Structure 1
Amino acid sequence: MDKERQKQLLKIIVDEYIKAAEPVASGFLVHKLMEKVSSATVRNDMVTLEDDGYIEQPHTSAGRVPTEKAYRYYLDHFLATQDLVKSYKDKIDQINQAKNDVRFRLKELAKYLAEVSGQAIMVAFAGNDVYYTGISNLFSQPEFSQKEVVVDMSRIIDHLDGVAVSLFDAVAEMTVELGDSCPFGSRCASIINKITIEDHDYLVAMIGPMRMDYQKNINLINYLGNL
């Protein structure tokens, strides 16, 4: 992608789709750009983005949605280094500093992460020892409204211990995987981190659709790595 304007349009499309889960129309983009660019120019740029595989048109809409390629570009070019919101930090620290065993604390952290992210969370205490929460968050997303998608995801959930075994030794630092490279299914994205508490390693994974708030969720999972 070689035009700054097209990069700006793509960022707006991804940001808006993450927020609203609705296809983004050219009229919205013109308004967002404060009418600095003509409608015809925006439409031409959208055609270019579509031809290059960054956006696509759902059958029932005049708007466009990001593709897996768009999300990958977004991750590589648009995310900024940010501190986690203080209220999130304070709550995570409070849970982690409680006088409970590590297993209990990690479960409470998982529940809190699921609550504030709106995604599913998996914690692996060892390769085949797994806790997960927030599955209802996952299935409430519009991406999981079709029966076959729910069935496919349910099969993966049924075998999360096997997924954890494959990830436990493979993941050394935070990683973001989506689409075909996501270990939780090609319709998903995951943010995975290895954390060390009291000299023991644990694996934490956030699982959701590719349409997730990467900036916020990466900050959350990254903060766990610094406990």
Structure 2
Amino acid sequence: MNTRQEQLLTLVIEKYIETAQPIGSKFLVSDAGLELSEATVRNELRELEDEGFLTHPHTSAGRIPTENGYKYYLSKIEWDKLKLNKKEGEILESFFGLDDKIQAQKNLSKSLAAITQETVIFAFTQHSIYYTGLSNLFSKPEFVELGIVGDVSQVFDRCEDCIPAFYNLVTEEIKCFIGDEHPFGSMLSAISFKTGDSLVTLLSPLRTNYKRNFTLLQAVKNLLNK
């Protein structure tokens, strides 16, 4: 992938994350301020699609990322340079000031789910699991179809079966798992880390703000390790 294609892929993904709408060449030229013709952009997008990084819904001329597109995008992020929003960090910390450790962890999970509008799974151990923010997941545009909602809801019906297998994949380092890299379903992403016996996972559609969510999970990790 050349530099221009990488720039276009990043623009498509980040705008799609923001809007949940397919992104067309007209937007990339006019709104993103690229000094390229629409014809050039269309050709580059077509090549990115041919290479499996983008696809387009049959009802739209715009493109959306594929699983491989997201994986490439994530591989290029300089995670150590991302900065936490100070106010969001303070909100998380305010929910963690309890003597009861388990309740503090639950409150922290609820706060994280509320800030990110995603679902949080907190496994105290492999066999003691708490999750919150499930309605956030089902309110996403990706899951408006009842059949898809049913498929995703089954993940939580078998959550206790998924977590033990996932434990072996997760380390103390925060990592993004996409599609078939985790046991929760190919239409979801999981950003996870372990601390001691506990495992924390932020579960979302593939379309999610990975950069922001990473910084928030880093803040959660820091609080848990205090």
Q: How does 1:50-199 map to 2 (within 5 A)?
A: 50-80=49-79, 81-96=81-96, 98-173=97-172, 174-196=174-196
Q: 1:68 to 1:169 in 2, by over 3 A?
A: closer
Distance in 1, matches of 2:54 and 2:98, equals 49
1:163 CA displacement: 1.6
Distance in 1, matches of 2:149 and 2:171, equals 30
Structure 1, unpaired ranges of 5+: none
- Provide the TM-score with structure 1 as the length reference: 0.92
1:35 CA displacement: 4.9
1:164 CA displacement: 1.8
Which residue does 2:30 correspond to in 1?
31
Conservation of the 8 A alpha-carbon contact between 2:13 and 2:70: yes
Which residue does 1:202 correspond to in 2?
198
1:225 aligned to 2:221? Answer: yes
Distance in 2, matches of 1:35 and 1:215, equals 23
Distance in 2, matches of 1:88 and 1:33, equals 28
Q: Deviations over 1:90-119 (max 9, x none)?
A: 1222222x2331110111011111111110
Structure 2, unpaired ranges of 5+: none
1:89 CA displacement: 1.7
Distance in 2, matches of 1:215 and 1:56, equals 23
Distance in 2, matches of 1:32 and 1:95, equals 39
Distance in 2, matches of 1:101 and 1:169, equals 28
1:154 CA displacement: 1.1
Distance in 2, matches of 1:20 and 1:13, equals 10
Distance in 2, matches of 1:60 and 1:54, equals 19
Distance in 2, matches of 1:183 and 1:31, equals 40
Q: 1:182 to 1:168 in 2, by over 3 A?
A: closer
1:179 CA displacement: 1.0
1:169 CA displacement: 4.7
1:216 aligned to 2:212? Answer: yes
1:38 CA displacement: 0.9
Tell me which amino acid in the other structure corresponds to 1:221: L
- Provide the TM-score with structure 2 as the length reference: 0.93
1:33 CA displacement: 4.4
Q: Determine helix, strand or coil for the equivalent of 1:103.
A: helix
Q: Deviations over 1:163-192 (max 9, x none)?
A: 222233542222210111122100000001
Q: Determine helix, strand or coil for the equivalent of 2:222.
A: coil
Q: Determine helix, strand or coil for the equivalent of 1:226.
A: helix
Q: Deviations over 1:129-152 (max 9, x none)?
A: 111111100000111111221111
Distance in 2, matches of 1:203 and 1:156, equals 17
Q: Determine helix, strand or coil for the equivalent of 1:152.
A: helix
Conservation of the 8 A alpha-carbon contact between 1:115 and 1:134: yes
1:79 CA displacement: 4.5
